[in-house]
Amino acid sequence: MKIYHNQMCSKSRNCFNLLQEKGVEFETIEYLKTPLTKEELADLLSKLNIPAEELVRKGEAEYADNYQGKTLSEGQWIDAMVKFPKLIERPIVVKGNKAVIGRPIERVIELLAD
């Protein structure tokens, strides 16, 4: 398993702690320190089974300053998240070929049971 994690985010920390409490072995990817490539982000979106725009945090300043009110293609949204990793929703937990955004945390619990 993997968790795409932001230590500064309480929801991400809660998810990280849940995985530890459940005794799950997982890899932690701090995507703000090690940004994702276009290919990694596209693969992650495939596992999430969502379009790129649904992974964008629309409350971030980078969104308001650069993208609010704009219609972008899938590739342009991916480029935006590569350029501004803070735009990526978190936490994301990956198990095999499936992934979920850990909001609410029940999604992660369902993924663990799967």
Which residues are known catalytic residues?
9
Q: What angle do CA 81, 83, 87 make, to 5 degrees?
A: 35
Alpha helix ranges (H) inside 1-114: 10-21, 38-48, 61-66, 74-83, 106-113
Q: Are 61 and 77 in contact (CB under 8 A)?
A: no
